[in-house]
Chain A
Amino acid sequence: MSLGIQPSSQNDPSFFARGPLERIVKMEELHRRLGRSPNYRGENDALRLLAKLLSDSPQAALQGLADQALKLCRAESAGIGITEICDGKNVFRWHAVSGNSPPHPESATPPGFGSACGSAWAYEAQATGASHSILRERKAAPGEALLVPFFRGAQEAGALWVAHHNANKRFDREDQRIMESLAAFASGVAQSYLREEAADLARRRQEEVVSLLESEKELREKFVTALTHDLRTPLTSAKMSAQLLARKAGEPEAVLRSAARISASVDRAERMVRDLLDANRLKAGEGIPLSIEACRLDEVVNHSVKELTALNGERFEFVNEAHETEGYWDHEALSRVIDNLASNAVKYGAPGKTITIGLVKQQHYAEISVHNEGDAISIDDQKSLFKSYRRTDSAVSSGQKGWGIGLVLVKGIAEAHGGSVRLESFPERGTTVYVRVPLDCRLPS
Protein backbone atom coordinates (compact mmCIF):
# COMPACT_ATOMS: atom_id res chain seq x y z
CA MET A 1 0.00 0.00 0.00
CA SER A 2 1.16 3.49 -0.62
CA LEU A 3 0.19 7.06 -0.13
CA GLY A 4 0.77 10.02 -2.33
CA ILE A 5 0.75 13.69 -1.62
CA GLN A 6 -0.13 16.48 -3.90
CA PRO A 7 0.60 19.96 -2.60
CA SER A 8 -2.33 21.66 -4.27
CA SER A 9 -5.13 19.20 -3.74
CA GLN A 10 -8.08 20.20 -1.59
CA ASN A 11 -8.67 17.15 0.48
CA ASP A 12 -9.87 16.19 3.90
CA PRO A 13 -8.96 19.22 6.07
CA SER A 14 -8.73 17.05 9.18
CA PHE A 15 -5.28 15.94 7.98
CA PHE A 16 -3.96 19.46 8.48
CA ALA A 17 -4.38 19.24 12.21
CA ARG A 18 -2.31 16.10 12.43
CA GLY A 19 1.05 17.15 11.20
CA PRO A 20 3.18 18.57 8.52
CA LEU A 21 1.71 16.74 5.61
CA GLU A 22 0.46 19.42 3.32
CA ARG A 23 -1.82 17.55 1.07
CA ILE A 24 -2.78 13.97 0.90
CA VAL A 25 -3.78 12.33 -2.26
CA LYS A 26 -5.94 9.55 -1.11
CA MET A 27 -5.47 6.21 -2.67
CA GLU A 28 -8.84 6.46 -4.31
CA GLU A 29 -7.56 9.43 -6.27
CA LEU A 30 -4.51 7.52 -7.38
CA HIS A 31 -6.80 4.72 -8.49
CA ARG A 32 -9.03 7.10 -10.39
CA ARG A 33 -6.13 8.34 -12.46
CA LEU A 34 -5.59 6.77 -15.81
CA GLY A 35 -2.75 4.34 -15.39
CA ARG A 36 -0.27 3.37 -18.02
CA SER A 37 -0.08 -0.31 -18.86
CA PRO A 38 1.90 -2.45 -16.37
CA ASN A 39 5.62 -2.67 -17.07
CA TYR A 40 6.13 -6.27 -15.89
CA ARG A 41 9.30 -6.66 -17.85
CA GLY A 42 10.90 -3.58 -16.32
CA GLU A 43 9.81 -4.73 -12.86
CA ASN A 44 11.19 -8.20 -13.49
CA ASP A 45 14.55 -6.88 -14.69
CA ALA A 46 14.75 -4.57 -11.69
CA LEU A 47 14.07 -7.36 -9.19
CA ARG A 48 16.64 -9.63 -10.88
CA LEU A 49 19.22 -6.85 -10.73
CA LEU A 50 18.38 -6.17 -7.08
CA ALA A 51 18.76 -9.84 -6.17
CA LYS A 52 22.22 -9.78 -7.73
CA LEU A 53 23.16 -6.57 -5.91
CA LEU A 54 21.94 -8.04 -2.64
CA SER A 55 24.36 -10.94 -3.06
CA ASP A 56 27.17 -8.34 -3.29
CA SER A 57 26.13 -6.24 -0.33
CA PRO A 58 22.95 -4.98 1.29
CA GLN A 59 24.16 -1.38 0.88
CA ALA A 60 24.50 -1.89 -2.88
CA ALA A 61 20.96 -3.31 -2.96
CA LEU A 62 19.61 -0.28 -1.07
CA GLN A 63 21.17 2.02 -3.65
CA GLY A 64 19.78 -0.22 -6.39
CA LEU A 65 16.29 0.12 -4.93
CA ALA A 66 16.44 3.93 -5.04
CA ASP A 67 17.84 3.85 -8.59
CA GLN A 68 15.21 1.40 -9.83
CA ALA A 69 12.33 3.28 -8.17
CA LEU A 70 13.53 6.48 -9.84
CA LYS A 71 13.80 4.80 -13.21
CA LEU A 72 10.61 2.77 -13.22
CA CYS A 73 8.44 5.60 -11.85
CA ARG A 74 10.13 8.13 -14.14
CA ALA A 75 10.60 10.38 -11.13
CA GLU A 76 13.12 13.17 -10.53
CA SER A 77 14.24 11.94 -7.16
CA ALA A 78 13.97 8.81 -5.07
CA GLY A 79 15.26 7.49 -1.80
CA ILE A 80 15.10 4.80 0.81
CA GLY A 81 15.28 5.14 4.58
CA ILE A 82 15.50 2.53 7.30
CA THR A 83 14.65 2.73 10.97
CA GLU A 84 17.40 1.56 13.24
CA ILE A 85 18.52 1.76 16.83
CA CYS A 86 21.17 4.40 17.37
CA ASP A 87 22.47 5.07 20.91
CA GLY A 88 19.43 3.27 22.29
CA LYS A 89 16.97 5.38 20.31
CA ASN A 90 14.86 4.53 17.33
CA VAL A 91 15.92 6.71 14.43
CA PHE A 92 15.08 6.96 10.78
CA ARG A 93 18.04 7.30 8.46
CA TRP A 94 18.37 7.79 4.70
CA HIS A 95 20.57 5.07 3.34
CA ALA A 96 20.39 5.77 -0.37
CA VAL A 97 19.11 8.55 -2.58
CA SER A 98 18.95 8.77 -6.32
CA GLY A 99 18.30 11.43 -8.95
CA ASN A 100 18.10 15.06 -7.97
CA SER A 101 17.93 14.43 -4.23
CA PRO A 102 19.21 16.09 -1.13
CA PRO A 103 22.63 14.66 -0.30
CA HIS A 104 22.00 13.66 3.28
CA PRO A 105 21.94 9.88 3.41
CA GLU A 106 23.76 9.86 6.76
CA SER A 107 21.45 12.14 8.70
CA ALA A 108 19.29 10.51 11.31
CA THR A 109 15.92 11.83 12.47
CA PRO A 110 13.55 10.44 15.05
CA PRO A 111 10.74 8.62 13.30
CA GLY A 112 7.63 10.72 13.37
CA PHE A 113 6.49 13.83 11.69
CA GLY A 114 9.30 15.39 9.78
CA SER A 115 10.50 12.19 8.23
CA ALA A 116 8.84 10.63 5.29
CA CYS A 117 8.04 7.24 6.68
CA GLY A 118 7.50 8.73 10.10
CA SER A 119 4.66 10.79 8.73
CA ALA A 120 3.24 7.80 7.03
CA TRP A 121 3.25 5.81 10.24
CA ALA A 122 1.86 8.70 12.21
CA TYR A 123 -1.15 8.54 9.97
CA GLU A 124 -1.33 4.83 10.58
CA ALA A 125 -1.19 4.85 6.88
CA GLN A 126 -1.35 1.21 6.34
CA ALA A 127 -1.99 2.82 3.39
CA THR A 128 0.62 5.05 2.50
CA GLY A 129 2.18 8.26 3.40
CA ALA A 130 4.35 10.95 2.13
CA SER A 131 5.96 13.97 3.60
CA HIS A 132 6.17 17.40 2.21
CA SER A 133 9.65 17.57 3.72
CA ILE A 134 10.96 15.42 0.90
CA LEU A 135 10.02 18.17 -1.47
CA ARG A 136 10.83 21.10 0.77
CA GLU A 137 14.30 19.95 1.76
CA ARG A 138 15.14 19.41 -1.85
CA LYS A 139 14.14 23.00 -2.57
CA ALA A 140 12.56 21.72 -5.73
CA ALA A 141 9.41 23.08 -7.30
CA PRO A 142 6.48 21.52 -5.46
CA GLY A 143 5.54 18.34 -7.16
CA GLU A 144 4.01 15.11 -6.03
CA ALA A 145 5.52 12.43 -3.86
CA LEU A 146 4.64 8.80 -3.57
CA LEU A 147 5.80 6.98 -0.50
CA VAL A 148 5.61 3.34 0.45
CA PRO A 149 6.43 2.25 3.98
CA PHE A 150 7.63 -1.29 4.49
CA PHE A 151 7.40 -3.46 7.55
CA ARG A 152 9.22 -6.14 9.48
CA GLY A 153 6.40 -8.19 10.91
CA ALA A 154 4.12 -5.55 12.40
CA GLN A 155 7.03 -3.15 12.93
CA GLU A 156 7.73 -0.20 10.68
CA ALA A 157 11.04 -0.91 9.01
CA GLY A 158 11.52 1.91 6.54
CA ALA A 159 10.18 3.72 3.53
CA LEU A 160 10.82 3.96 -0.17
CA TRP A 161 9.81 7.12 -1.97
CA VAL A 162 9.81 8.80 -5.34
CA ALA A 163 9.03 12.43 -6.17
CA HIS A 164 8.20 14.55 -9.19
CA HIS A 165 9.67 18.03 -9.16
CA ASN A 166 7.37 19.25 -11.86
CA ALA A 167 3.91 20.33 -10.68
CA ASN A 168 2.32 18.97 -13.84
CA LYS A 169 3.57 15.42 -13.41
CA ARG A 170 1.50 12.87 -11.53
CA PHE A 171 1.95 9.34 -10.25
CA ASP A 172 -0.55 6.69 -11.25
CA ARG A 173 -1.71 3.18 -10.36
CA GLU A 174 1.22 1.60 -12.17
CA ASP A 175 3.71 3.65 -10.11
CA GLN A 176 1.94 2.47 -7.01
CA ARG A 177 2.10 -1.17 -8.13
CA ILE A 178 5.83 -0.92 -8.96
CA MET A 179 6.61 0.84 -5.67
CA GLU A 180 4.77 -1.76 -3.63
CA SER A 181 6.66 -4.52 -5.39
CA LEU A 182 10.01 -2.79 -4.74
CA ALA A 183 9.03 -2.07 -1.13
CA ALA A 184 8.32 -5.75 -0.49
CA PHE A 185 11.85 -6.48 -1.67
CA ALA A 186 13.22 -3.56 0.37
CA SER A 187 11.95 -5.11 3.58
CA GLY A 188 14.26 -8.11 3.07
CA VAL A 189 17.16 -5.92 2.04
CA ALA A 190 16.73 -3.75 5.13
CA GLN A 191 16.81 -6.81 7.34
CA SER A 192 20.05 -8.07 5.77
CA TYR A 193 21.51 -4.61 6.02
CA LEU A 194 20.70 -4.25 9.71
CA ARG A 195 21.93 -7.78 10.46
CA GLU A 196 25.21 -7.01 8.76
CA GLU A 197 25.47 -3.68 10.62
CA ALA A 198 24.80 -5.41 13.93
CA ALA A 199 27.41 -8.08 13.20
CA ASP A 200 29.89 -5.34 12.22
CA LEU A 201 29.16 -3.43 15.40
CA ALA A 202 29.56 -6.55 17.54
CA ARG A 203 32.86 -7.31 15.82
CA ARG A 204 34.11 -3.74 16.35
CA ARG A 205 33.07 -3.80 20.01
CA GLN A 206 34.83 -7.10 20.51
CA GLU A 207 37.98 -5.74 18.89
CA GLU A 208 37.80 -2.64 21.09
CA VAL A 209 37.47 -4.76 24.25
CA VAL A 210 40.38 -6.98 23.21
CA SER A 211 42.59 -4.01 22.43
CA LEU A 212 41.61 -2.30 25.70
CA LEU A 213 42.50 -5.43 27.66
CA GLU A 214 45.78 -5.75 25.81
CA SER A 215 46.73 -2.16 26.48
CA GLU A 216 45.78 -2.53 30.17
CA LYS A 217 47.94 -5.63 30.38
CA GLU A 218 50.82 -3.85 28.69
CA LEU A 219 50.43 -0.87 31.07
CA ARG A 220 50.48 -3.17 34.07
CA GLU A 221 53.61 -4.97 32.87
CA LYS A 222 55.40 -1.70 32.20
CA PHE A 223 54.30 -0.43 35.58
CA VAL A 224 55.65 -3.45 37.44
CA THR A 225 58.95 -3.20 35.54
CA ALA A 226 59.28 0.50 36.37
CA LEU A 227 58.28 -0.09 39.99
CA THR A 228 60.78 -2.87 40.65
CA HIS A 229 63.52 -0.91 38.91
CA ASP A 230 62.78 2.25 40.87
CA LEU A 231 62.69 0.43 44.19
CA ARG A 232 66.17 -0.91 43.51
CA THR A 233 67.63 2.61 43.55
CA PRO A 234 67.02 3.38 47.25
CA LEU A 235 67.72 -0.28 48.09
CA THR A 236 71.07 -0.10 46.32
CA SER A 237 71.99 3.14 48.00
CA ALA A 238 70.91 1.91 51.45
CA LYS A 239 72.68 -1.44 51.15
CA MET A 240 75.98 0.01 49.92
CA SER A 241 75.86 2.81 52.49
CA ALA A 242 75.24 0.30 55.29
CA GLN A 243 78.21 -1.80 54.17
CA LEU A 244 80.34 1.32 53.90
CA LEU A 245 79.23 2.31 57.39
CA ALA A 246 80.60 -0.97 58.74
CA ARG A 247 83.91 -0.48 56.94
CA LYS A 248 84.35 3.11 58.08
CA ALA A 249 83.10 2.72 61.64
CA GLY A 250 86.05 4.71 62.95
CA GLU A 251 85.50 7.77 60.78
CA PRO A 252 82.70 9.94 62.22
CA GLU A 253 82.25 12.04 59.07
CA ALA A 254 81.87 8.99 56.83
CA VAL A 255 79.53 7.38 59.33
CA LEU A 256 77.28 10.44 59.42
CA ARG A 257 77.18 10.72 55.65
CA SER A 258 76.34 7.06 55.20
CA ALA A 259 73.70 7.17 57.93
CA ALA A 260 72.03 10.20 56.29
CA ARG A 261 72.04 8.44 52.95
CA ILE A 262 70.52 5.28 54.42
CA SER A 263 67.80 7.34 56.06
CA ALA A 264 67.03 9.28 52.85
CA SER A 265 66.96 6.03 50.84
CA VAL A 266 64.60 4.27 53.22
CA ASP A 267 62.33 7.34 53.24
CA ARG A 268 62.27 7.26 49.50
CA ALA A 269 61.41 3.56 49.31
CA GLU A 270 58.71 4.04 51.93
CA ARG A 271 57.24 6.95 49.98
CA MET A 272 57.16 4.87 46.81
CA VAL A 273 55.14 2.18 48.57
CA ARG A 274 52.74 4.77 50.00
CA ASP A 275 52.36 6.46 46.60
CA LEU A 276 51.48 3.13 45.10
CA LEU A 277 48.86 2.38 47.74
CA ASP A 278 47.32 5.84 47.41
CA ALA A 279 47.25 5.61 43.61
CA ASN A 280 45.32 2.37 43.98
CA ARG A 281 42.92 4.08 46.38
CA LEU A 282 42.32 6.85 43.87
CA LYS A 283 41.84 4.36 41.07
CA ALA A 284 39.20 2.61 43.18
CA GLY A 285 37.40 5.95 43.50
CA GLU A 286 38.38 6.48 47.12
CA GLY A 287 39.92 9.71 48.38
CA ILE A 288 43.29 10.04 50.05
CA PRO A 289 42.92 10.06 53.85
CA LEU A 290 44.42 13.19 55.40
CA SER A 291 45.49 14.02 58.89
CA ILE A 292 44.93 17.74 59.24
CA GLU A 293 46.73 19.86 61.76
CA ALA A 294 48.01 23.40 62.18
CA CYS A 295 51.29 23.84 60.35
CA ARG A 296 53.38 26.31 58.40
CA LEU A 297 53.51 25.72 54.68
CA ASP A 298 56.75 27.66 54.23
CA GLU A 299 58.41 25.26 56.67
CA VAL A 300 56.95 22.28 54.82
CA VAL A 301 58.38 23.57 51.54
CA ASN A 302 61.74 24.35 53.15
CA HIS A 303 62.00 20.86 54.57
CA SER A 304 61.06 19.33 51.20
CA VAL A 305 63.68 21.40 49.41
CA LYS A 306 66.34 20.08 51.81
CA GLU A 307 65.28 16.48 51.22
CA LEU A 308 65.17 17.01 47.48
CA THR A 309 68.65 18.48 47.55
CA ALA A 310 69.91 15.42 49.46
CA LEU A 311 68.44 13.18 46.78
CA ASN A 312 69.11 15.21 43.65
CA GLY A 313 71.86 17.70 44.40
CA GLU A 314 71.81 21.50 44.51
CA ARG A 315 69.15 22.23 41.93
CA PHE A 316 66.32 23.83 43.83
CA GLU A 317 65.47 27.40 44.58
CA PHE A 318 62.68 28.27 47.00
CA VAL A 319 61.02 31.59 46.19
CA ASN A 320 58.83 32.37 49.19
CA GLU A 321 56.55 35.34 48.60
CA ALA A 322 54.31 34.38 51.50
CA HIS A 323 56.84 34.27 54.35
CA GLU A 324 55.05 32.71 57.31
CA THR A 325 52.13 30.78 55.91
CA GLU A 326 50.09 29.28 58.70
CA GLY A 327 47.09 27.10 58.07
CA TYR A 328 45.49 23.69 58.50
CA TRP A 329 46.76 20.97 56.20
CA ASP A 330 48.24 17.51 56.10
CA HIS A 331 51.87 18.63 55.97
CA GLU A 332 53.14 15.16 55.15
CA ALA A 333 50.77 14.88 52.16
CA LEU A 334 51.73 18.33 50.88
CA SER A 335 55.41 17.47 51.13
CA ARG A 336 54.66 14.46 48.92
CA VAL A 337 53.04 16.84 46.45
CA ILE A 338 56.21 18.94 46.33
CA ASP A 339 58.38 15.85 46.13
CA ASN A 340 56.41 14.43 43.21
CA LEU A 341 56.32 17.68 41.26
CA ALA A 342 60.00 18.38 41.87
CA SER A 343 60.96 14.81 40.89
CA ASN A 344 59.05 15.26 37.63
CA ALA A 345 60.88 18.55 37.06
CA VAL A 346 64.21 16.76 37.60
CA LYS A 347 63.24 13.94 35.26
CA TYR A 348 61.61 15.86 32.42
CA GLY A 349 62.99 19.39 32.73
CA ALA A 350 66.13 20.76 31.13
CA PRO A 351 69.06 18.78 32.66
CA GLY A 352 71.06 20.65 35.27
CA LYS A 353 68.89 23.79 35.24
CA THR A 354 67.51 25.29 38.42
CA ILE A 355 64.06 24.16 39.52
CA THR A 356 62.07 26.90 41.20
CA ILE A 357 59.61 26.12 43.96
CA GLY A 358 57.34 29.04 44.75
CA LEU A 359 54.88 29.81 47.52
CA VAL A 360 52.31 32.61 47.53
CA LYS A 361 49.54 33.35 50.00
CA GLN A 362 46.21 35.00 49.24
CA GLN A 363 43.31 35.83 51.53
CA HIS A 364 41.78 32.36 51.47
CA TYR A 365 44.32 30.11 49.88
CA ALA A 366 47.98 29.34 49.43
CA GLU A 367 49.56 28.28 46.18
CA ILE A 368 52.66 26.16 45.70
CA SER A 369 54.28 26.18 42.27
CA VAL A 370 57.05 24.07 40.80
CA HIS A 371 58.71 25.40 37.68
CA ASN A 372 61.25 23.84 35.37
CA GLU A 373 62.85 24.97 32.15
CA GLY A 374 62.81 22.68 29.14
CA ASP A 375 60.58 21.52 26.31
CA ALA A 376 56.87 22.30 26.55
CA ILE A 377 54.39 19.48 27.14
CA SER A 378 52.14 19.08 24.09
CA ILE A 379 48.44 19.83 24.41
CA ASP A 380 47.64 16.15 23.71
CA ASP A 381 50.00 14.99 26.45
CA GLN A 382 48.56 17.54 28.87
CA LYS A 383 45.17 15.84 28.53
CA SER A 384 46.47 12.48 29.77
CA LEU A 385 48.83 13.83 32.44
CA PHE A 386 46.45 13.36 35.31
CA LYS A 387 45.31 9.84 34.38
CA SER A 388 46.68 6.97 36.43
CA TYR A 389 49.31 4.66 34.96
CA ARG A 390 49.19 6.64 31.72
CA ARG A 391 52.57 8.05 30.89
CA THR A 392 52.63 10.59 28.10
CA ASP A 393 54.32 9.78 24.81
CA SER A 394 57.03 12.32 25.52
CA ALA A 395 57.60 10.92 29.03
CA VAL A 396 58.08 7.43 27.59
CA SER A 397 60.34 8.59 24.76
CA SER A 398 62.46 10.60 27.20
CA GLY A 399 63.78 7.27 28.50
CA GLN A 400 62.97 8.37 32.05
CA LYS A 401 61.62 5.72 34.34
CA GLY A 402 58.24 6.45 35.80
CA TRP A 403 55.11 4.81 37.06
CA GLY A 404 52.62 7.28 35.71
CA ILE A 405 51.07 7.95 39.11
CA GLY A 406 52.88 11.07 40.38
CA LEU A 407 50.49 13.67 39.00
CA VAL A 408 47.46 11.53 39.86
CA LEU A 409 48.58 11.65 43.49
CA VAL A 410 49.26 15.37 43.34
CA LYS A 411 45.73 15.95 42.07
CA GLY A 412 44.24 13.52 44.60
CA ILE A 413 46.01 15.19 47.53
CA ALA A 414 45.12 18.71 46.34
CA GLU A 415 41.47 17.72 45.93
CA ALA A 416 41.39 15.98 49.32
CA HIS A 417 42.39 19.39 50.75
CA GLY A 418 39.54 21.05 48.81
CA GLY A 419 42.10 22.49 46.41
CA SER A 420 43.05 22.15 42.75
CA VAL A 421 45.93 21.66 40.34
CA ARG A 422 46.68 23.39 37.06
CA LEU A 423 49.54 23.15 34.65
CA GLU A 424 51.05 25.68 32.27
CA SER A 425 53.56 24.65 29.66
CA PHE A 426 54.96 26.86 26.92
CA PRO A 427 57.92 26.63 24.58
CA GLU A 428 60.72 28.95 25.74
CA ARG A 429 59.17 29.33 29.19
CA GLY A 430 59.06 25.73 30.38
CA THR A 431 56.50 24.06 32.60
CA THR A 432 54.90 25.16 35.86
CA VAL A 433 52.47 23.17 37.98
CA TYR A 434 50.38 25.13 40.48
CA VAL A 435 48.75 23.50 43.49
CA ARG A 436 46.22 25.68 45.29
CA VAL A 437 44.87 24.76 48.73
CA PRO A 438 42.54 26.68 51.05
CA LEU A 439 44.29 28.13 54.12
CA ASP A 440 42.04 26.10 56.37
CA CYS A 441 40.98 22.93 54.66
CA ARG A 442 38.74 21.95 57.60
CA LEU A 443 36.25 24.58 56.38
CA PRO A 444 33.86 23.63 53.61
CA SER A 445 35.15 25.10 50.36
Chain B
Amino acid sequence: MSAPLPGLGKLILVVDDEYLIRETLRDALEADGYDVVTAQNGKEGLGRLGESLRPNLILLDMMMPIMGGQEFLQGLAQRPDLAPIPVLVVSATADTKNTPGAKAILKKPPDLDQLLWMVFKYTQKDQYSPS
Protein backbone atom coordinates (compact mmCIF):
# COMPACT_ATOMS: atom_id res chain seq x y z
CA MET B 1 0.00 0.00 0.00
CA SER B 2 1.37 3.34 -0.98
CA ALA B 3 0.73 6.47 1.07
CA PRO B 4 -2.35 8.48 0.09
CA LEU B 5 -1.60 11.21 -2.42
CA PRO B 6 -1.11 14.57 -0.67
CA GLY B 7 -3.17 16.50 -3.18
CA LEU B 8 -6.36 14.49 -3.19
CA GLY B 9 -9.39 16.72 -3.12
CA LYS B 10 -7.32 19.89 -3.58
CA LEU B 11 -7.68 22.21 -6.57
CA ILE B 12 -4.84 24.33 -7.96
CA LEU B 13 -5.16 27.18 -10.47
CA VAL B 14 -2.04 27.56 -12.63
CA VAL B 15 -1.72 30.96 -14.35
CA ASP B 16 1.13 31.05 -16.90
CA ASP B 17 1.28 32.16 -20.54
CA GLU B 18 3.68 29.36 -21.54
CA TYR B 19 1.96 26.18 -22.60
CA LEU B 20 5.11 24.15 -21.75
CA ILE B 21 5.13 25.42 -18.17
CA ARG B 22 1.40 25.04 -17.67
CA GLU B 23 1.45 21.46 -18.84
CA THR B 24 4.62 20.53 -16.92
CA LEU B 25 3.11 21.94 -13.72
CA ARG B 26 -0.12 20.11 -14.47
CA ASP B 27 1.76 16.80 -14.85
CA ALA B 28 3.68 17.32 -11.62
CA LEU B 29 0.65 18.38 -9.59
CA GLU B 30 -1.67 15.73 -10.97
CA ALA B 31 0.95 13.11 -10.17
CA ASP B 32 0.53 14.11 -6.51
CA GLY B 33 -3.25 13.88 -6.75
CA TYR B 34 -4.13 17.57 -7.17
CA ASP B 35 -6.80 18.72 -9.56
CA VAL B 36 -5.47 21.40 -11.91
CA VAL B 37 -7.16 24.20 -13.79
CA THR B 38 -5.07 26.52 -16.03
CA ALA B 39 -5.30 30.05 -17.35
CA GLN B 40 -3.08 31.76 -19.95
CA ASN B 41 -2.89 35.17 -18.31
CA GLY B 42 -4.11 37.21 -15.36
CA LYS B 43 -7.31 38.25 -17.04
CA GLU B 44 -8.30 34.70 -17.86
CA GLY B 45 -7.36 33.70 -14.30
CA LEU B 46 -9.60 36.35 -12.75
CA GLY B 47 -12.31 35.32 -15.20
CA ARG B 48 -12.08 31.74 -13.97
CA LEU B 49 -12.35 32.91 -10.36
CA GLY B 50 -15.32 35.06 -11.32
CA GLU B 51 -17.04 31.89 -12.49
CA SER B 52 -17.09 30.74 -8.85
CA LEU B 53 -13.98 28.62 -9.20
CA ARG B 54 -12.44 28.37 -5.73
CA PRO B 55 -9.00 26.76 -5.84
CA ASN B 56 -7.05 25.93 -2.69
CA LEU B 57 -3.97 27.62 -4.17
CA ILE B 58 -2.92 29.70 -7.15
CA LEU B 59 0.44 29.23 -8.90
CA LEU B 60 1.16 32.52 -10.66
CA ASP B 61 3.63 33.67 -13.33
CA MET B 62 4.44 37.40 -13.38
CA MET B 63 5.37 38.36 -16.93
CA MET B 64 2.37 37.59 -19.11
CA PRO B 65 0.62 39.37 -21.97
CA ILE B 66 -2.83 40.97 -21.63
CA MET B 67 -2.64 40.94 -17.81
CA GLY B 68 0.54 40.25 -15.84
CA GLY B 69 0.90 38.78 -12.35
CA GLN B 70 1.06 42.09 -10.51
CA GLU B 71 -2.25 43.28 -11.91
CA PHE B 72 -3.77 39.87 -11.17
CA LEU B 73 -2.70 40.16 -7.52
CA GLN B 74 -4.20 43.64 -7.30
CA GLY B 75 -7.46 42.36 -8.80
CA LEU B 76 -7.50 39.53 -6.27
CA ALA B 77 -6.92 41.88 -3.33
CA GLN B 78 -9.97 43.93 -4.33
CA ARG B 79 -12.28 40.93 -3.95
CA PRO B 80 -12.86 40.04 -0.27
CA ASP B 81 -14.10 36.58 -1.27
CA LEU B 82 -10.95 35.86 -3.34
CA ALA B 83 -8.29 37.67 -1.32
CA PRO B 84 -7.78 34.80 1.18
CA ILE B 85 -6.78 32.32 -1.57
CA PRO B 86 -3.03 31.75 -1.11
CA VAL B 87 -0.85 32.62 -4.10
CA LEU B 88 2.53 31.09 -4.83
CA VAL B 89 4.47 33.07 -7.43
CA VAL B 90 6.59 31.01 -9.84
CA SER B 91 8.42 33.48 -12.03
CA ALA B 92 11.76 34.51 -13.47
CA THR B 93 11.10 38.17 -12.80
CA ALA B 94 9.48 38.34 -9.37
CA ASP B 95 10.52 40.11 -6.21
CA THR B 96 8.63 40.98 -3.07
CA LYS B 97 7.99 44.52 -4.31
CA ASN B 98 5.86 43.49 -7.27
CA THR B 99 4.09 40.56 -5.63
CA PRO B 100 1.82 42.13 -2.98
CA GLY B 101 -0.08 39.51 -1.00
CA ALA B 102 1.78 36.48 -2.42
CA LYS B 103 2.69 33.81 0.13
CA ALA B 104 6.07 33.01 -1.40
CA ILE B 105 8.15 33.38 -4.52
CA LEU B 106 9.85 30.56 -6.40
CA LYS B 107 12.34 31.54 -9.08
CA LYS B 108 12.15 29.76 -12.40
CA PRO B 109 13.36 27.11 -12.89
CA PRO B 110 12.07 25.91 -9.49
CA ASP B 111 13.10 22.75 -7.75
CA LEU B 112 10.20 20.31 -8.07
CA ASP B 113 10.49 18.94 -4.51
CA GLN B 114 10.49 22.42 -3.08
CA LEU B 115 7.59 23.46 -5.28
CA LEU B 116 5.48 20.45 -4.27
CA TRP B 117 6.38 20.94 -0.62
CA MET B 118 5.19 24.55 -0.75
CA VAL B 119 2.04 23.59 -2.60
CA PHE B 120 1.38 20.98 0.06
CA LYS B 121 2.08 23.45 2.87
CA TYR B 122 -0.21 26.16 1.53
CA THR B 123 -3.08 23.81 0.78
CA GLN B 124 -3.36 22.53 4.35
CA LYS B 125 -6.60 23.15 6.18
CA ASP B 126 -5.24 25.78 8.53
CA GLN B 127 -4.13 27.87 5.54
CA TYR B 128 -7.24 28.37 3.46
CA SER B 129 -10.26 26.30 2.81
CA PRO B 130 -12.66 27.36 0.13
CA SER B 131 -16.25 27.20 1.30
Using a CB–CB cutoff of 8 Å, the interface residues on chain A facing chain B are 228-229, 232-241, 243-244, 247-248, 254, 257-258, 261, 264-265, 268, 311-313, 347, 351, 398-401
Contacts and interface: CB of A to CB of B under 8 A. Distances in A.
Contact of A237 (B21, B31, B40, B65): B21
Contacts of A311: 19-20
B18 A240 contact: no
Given A233-B18, A237-B24, A311-B20, A244 B112 contact: yes
Considering the complex of A and B, which 7 residue pairs feature the smallest CB-CB distances, nearest first? A243-B112, A236-B109, A399-B65, A237-B20, A239-B109, A232-B92, A236-B108
B73 interface: no
Contacts of B111: 239, 243
Given A235-B109, A237-B18, 20 more contacts: A229-B93, A233-B108, A239-B112, A240-B24, A240-B25, A240-B109, A240-B115, A241-B24, A243-B28, A243-B112, A243-B113, A247-B112, A254-B31, A261-B23, A268-B20, A311-B19, A347-B65, A351-B40, A399-B66, A400-B65
Nearest to B18: A233
Interface in B20-47: 20-21, 23-25, 27-28, 31, 40
A238 B68 CA distance: 24
Contacts, number: 76
A258 B21 CA distance: 12
Interface of B: 18-21, 23-25, 27-28, 31, 40, 63-66, 68, 92-93, 108-113, 115
A247 B31 contact: yes
A2 B124 CA distance: 102
Contacts of A234: 20
Q: Which of B40, B64, B92, B115 has the most CB of A within 10 A?
A: B92
Contacts of A239: 109, 111-112
Contacts of A261: 20, 23-24, 27
